[in-house]
A and B are shown apart, each in its own frame.
Chain A
Amino acid sequence: METKEFTIKWGMAIDLDKCTGCGACMVACQAENNLAPIADASNKIKVMNWITVYELSNGKPYPEHDVAYLPRPCQQCGHPPCVSVCPVIATDKNEEGGIVSQVTPRCIGCRYCMAACPYHARYFNWRDPVWPGGLEKALTPDVSVRPRGVVEKCTFCHHRWMAAKDKAIVEGRDPMDLAEGEYVTSCTEACPNGAITFGDLNNEDHEVAKLASSKYAHRLLERLGADTQVYYVSRREWVLRQLDNYLEDEKVKG
């Protein structure tokens, strides 16, 4: 399948050597995108997270053990497996910027997209969201609240892009020519370690584009060919090796 090309391609480079697994990005994401809290969050299959931080291990015993943390937002595939299976075009890859959309009011909850997504980036609302104790008063106006029965996922804080474009238009600037950093996702902004770099992969001046072409940059399950817009950077071979299925004697670039 051809990858649809866009002038701007929003992307991320996450340095797995810099992430310490603190979870600030996960909390910031939930507050920004109006995810509902849940009393028992230990059943990870039923818990909604647009970004989740996984723990990686080099598999070696003490004292050779090494650990890494992998934050996983939606990978915003170039040819997204979820889009082709959606019967109602509730999810699409059609808009400038290359963000895979998720139109929840259109979703009929069939969950084909969840089965198709290789990254487990999609979540189904098994229950209606509940905001105890008046917590709904802290909802942002940017992202509508989703009811039971629909699928949702990370949108790269798409509303922030809209806001940045609006601001540029009001200021008489070209909304398609935003300065680097004018639009970043909530997780990028929150991370105290600067582990996440966000920007336009098509703009050579953007840090993210430089990082994406680094020899240490790999994508998750790259050989599936989904052509994702999220890059993972690590100078550790064992970390890179876990991003895809390698044969034992196969070399990993980087």
Chain B
Amino acid sequence: MAVDRRGFLKFVAGATTGVLATPVPWKLLDDVSIWTQNWPWIPRNVDGENSYVSTISKLCPSAAGMKVRLVGPRPVRVLPDDNHPLSMGGITALAAAEVQLMYSPSRVKRPLKHAGDGAFVAISWEEAEKMLKENLRRAGSKVAYVSGDETGTINELLSGMAKESGSEDFYVMPSEVQPAARAFASMNGNGQLGYDIENSDYVFAIGANILESWGTVLRNRAAYKNSHPAAEKPTVKFVYAGPVQNNTAAGSDEWLPAKSGTEAIVAMGIANLLIKAGATIDAPDFAEFKALAAQFTPQKVAALAGVTPAKLKAITAELSKAKRPVVLTGSEFGQGTGVATVLAGTAVNMLLGGFGREGGVTAIPLAPKVIASGMDRAEIADKDLVAYLSRISAGKVATPRAMVFYEANPVYGLPQPAAMAKVMDKVPFKVAFTSFLDETAEACDLILPTPLGLERFDDVESPYGINQAFYGLARPVAPCVIDGKPAADVLLGVAGQLNMDLGFETFEEVLQAKAEAAGADWDSLMEGEFFTSDAVAEQSDLRIAADVIGKALAAAPKPAKLSIAPVQKLNIGTPNTAIPPYNNKTIRRWELQKNEMYVAMNGATARELGVVKHQRIKLSNSSGSIQARVNIFEGVMPNTIAVLMGFGHTAFDEFSKGKGENVMELLTVGYEAGTGQSVWNVAGVNVSKA
């Protein structure tokens, strides 16, 4: 049969219609798309029954309360806990990643020891414990313990072991806790300062990064949430004073630019204006304080802190008008501030009638210690790790023979980390109890893997900032996924073999005793309940400690011409966690590009320095130097360079290692006059083109 052109076209048209009408090609396309997605390496969903366990985070510095969702035996999510005073229906970007951190590629999976050639070799727990015991025995009293935990009773155990072996060297990694505790102690205070943000009607944070990282953040943020109804005028005004328009400034109703490290000066400026308006404090050293405050005229505050006199007066007027104002002071990056900062802030609260008043400052009682030879929180706060390492470096105290690091990462997290690491290098035996292979672990001779807070029993007592006494347990929600042992159990075992008398056989007994000392009911704690108490710590002979403030401020370092403002964000992790796998997506575009970090400055500063956006620069000072690219952000004070913390890890995994550089390299340690507290909240820097 011959086919003419018309016939052929008819056939083509028919065939096309046929193809379109039959479902076969569509079905094939559908099948192809499904089959090409069925690869064996794509994980399948594993179902199971849902259950939820209430617990508390030992990884997030805010001690976030949380509910862990399990599917069958597997924890899969960290969820907020509406009923928990340290969650109040919210979760931090760090705590939200905690389940996933169980499987972090950086987890130490078994005990490791440093072989001669620098490599790590896996050893058995038996061998590891023997090595630990022998080295501690050999070191005798020449041993130092460093803890990265601020709220756990394990600190009593660690300090008890130090003391039992004749050493006073137990330290906690520096934070806001030490200066606050020392400040209150110098006021003759009893207990721990707490801030009743939720009942306040005017919240003024000087430095303290209260909506991101300061204190019990989720509680702060819940107070913010409740006082800022959506689409309505806020019922409570939040004001933030600091050098950078950070996350707290972004949420606050007003940002008051103030230079890094000048928190005490701003507070004194306000105190001066309040006193002039007739405010007083019923304290023996008020006259002295008044005379001191008088020096901090609005002009002087403007010169030192960069706060305009008009703004200072306006904020003071608003504070006086408020019925229940509260002032919170701290470092905008959570460490390195002096005792005077907290003292000056507390004095302002007292001038505002806020001490012991609802919506003001309270003193909460702390539970007594349960390990007799251990140190209590007040004693611990007096121990200054940075000062200790500096003294070793200067040859003023002997280098210990052994150092025990408990979930602490000083090699990364201390100011001038290279200098600090050099000191630690001299220590013949170092052991790290850690969940992750961090910088400090890499510098140790022995690495002992600890279960995460989700895999062990642990406790949290009244984190700094909370306005009521608190006690709660972290409970294991799942078996430990690595061959880890809780540090407390290992240490108690070793202590027993070294004939130390700590009074307890197991850590559970320690926790039970602590719970009882706190007034909590063990059984309900074990069910995920927590203990809170509205009891306040009794005070007598409270003073302002004007002399301490006076001495510190008389010798305070002058702000540099060009200074560094470190910026802390919980999503980027802590020295202990580094950047959790899910969290590096939260890093902004102009904070990090590939492995290069950005630092931020305003346009005027950039013009003055002759640099433009994306330009590579070198920041250096006497402590060290880092390289970065320039980002222009107008929310930075003039002559200030905002540098994110949390970059520049040399350990951990592909999610953190080698990304950017560590701002701690640029932070220079100084000592507060009078108190001797190590401080590093003022750092000058030079910029050159790289």
Contacts and interface: CB of A to CB of B under 8 A. Distances in A.
B231 A23 contact: no
B77 interface: yes
A27 B571 contact: yes
Given A197-B230, A217-B231, A23 B33 contact: no
A68 B635 CA distance: 11
A101 B389 CA distance: 59
Nearest to B588: A55
A107 B71 CA distance: 29
Interface in A1-30: 13, 15, 17-24, 26-28, 30
A179 to B, nearest CB: 15
Interface string A209-244: 001001011000000000000000101000000000
B75 A17 contact: no
B676 to A, nearest CB: 36
B103 A147 contact: no
Given A27-B583, A128-B39, A138-B99, A61 B251 contact: no
A168 interface: no
A145 to B, nearest CB: 5
Nearest to B591: A42
A166 B533 CA distance: 40
Contact of B80 (A17, A189, A217): A189
A38 interface: yes
Contacts of A22: 92-93, 211-212, 247, 569-571
Contact of A47 (B36, B245, B585, B604): B585
Contacts of B587: 41-42
A129 interface: yes
Contact of B102 (A19, A57, A108, A138): A138
Contact of A31 (B33, B77, B88, B584): B77
A245 interface: no
B118 interface: no
A172 interface: no
B582 interface: yes
A42 B589 contact: yes
Interface in B556-613: 569-571, 580-589, 592-594, 602-604
A149 interface: yes
Q: Which of B569, B580, B581, B589 is packed against the most chain A CB atoms within 10 Å?
A: B581
Contact of A138 (B34, B100, B226, B594): B100
A207 B29 CA distance: 44
A22 to B, nearest CB: 5
Interface in B5-34: 29-30, 32-34
A193 B635 contact: no
Interface stretch (B216-224, B294-302, B412-420): B216-224
B643 interface: no
Interface in B72-126: 74-80, 88-93, 96-97, 99-100, 102-105, 107
A32 to B, nearest CB: 6
> In terms of DSSP, what is the predominant structure of the interface of chain A?
loop
Contact of B100 (A135, A146, A150): A135
Interface stretch (B40-48, B337-345, B465-473): B40-48
Nearest to A108: B33
Q: Which of A42, A131, A135, A144 is packed against the most chain B CB atoms within 10 Å?
A: A42
Given A62-B637, A139-B43, A145-B43, A106 B33 contact: yes
A137 interface: yes
B248 interface: yes
B250 interface: yes
A31 B103 contact: no
A104 interface: yes
Interface in A141-156: 141-147, 149-150
Contacts of A117: none
B225 A42 contact: no
Given A133-B104, A133-B107, A27 B586 contact: yes
A140 B633 CA distance: 39
Contacts of B43: 131, 136, 139, 145
A28 B46 contact: no
A39 interface: yes
Contacts of B127: none
A67 B250 contact: yes
Contact of B654 (A39, A105, A108, A189): A39
Given A31-B99, A214-B231, A192 B218 contact: yes
B634 interface: yes
B78 to A, nearest CB: 8
A55 to B, nearest CB: 6
A53 interface: yes
Given A24-B92, A67-B250, A145-B42, A53 B231 contact: no
Contacts of B584: 37-39, 41
Interface in A172-191: 189-191
B257 interface: yes
A68 B250 contact: yes
A133 B37 CA distance: 23
A204 interface: no
B646 interface: no
B91 A24 contact: yes
A191 to B, nearest CB: 7
Contacts of A105: 33-34, 37
A217 B231 CA distance: 8
Contacts of B104: 133, 135
A100 to B, nearest CB: 19
Contacts of A63: 257
Contacts of A143: 45
Contacts of A32: 77
B658 to A, nearest CB: 10
Contact of A140 (B37, B77, B247, B250): B77
Contacts of A18: 224-225, 228, 230, 251
B76 A190 contact: no
B257 A133 contact: no
Interface in B142-179: none
Contacts of B683: none
Contact of A65 (B91, B635, B653): B635
A114 B45 CA distance: 27
A144 B45 contact: yes
B481 interface: yes
Ranked nearest first, the 7 interchain pairs of A and B with the lowest CB-CB distance are A192-B90, A23-B586, A65-B634, A37-B581, A194-B225, A133-B105, A39-B654
6 contacts: A23-B586, A24-B91, A31-B99, A62-B257, A131-B103, A149-B36
Given A18-B251, A143-B45, 19 more contacts: A22-B93, A23-B93, A26-B585, A31-B76, A31-B77, A37-B581, A39-B584, A40-B594, A42-B587, A62-B638, A65-B634, A69-B250, A140-B45, A145-B42, A147-B36, A190-B90, A192-B218, A217-B231, A235-B233
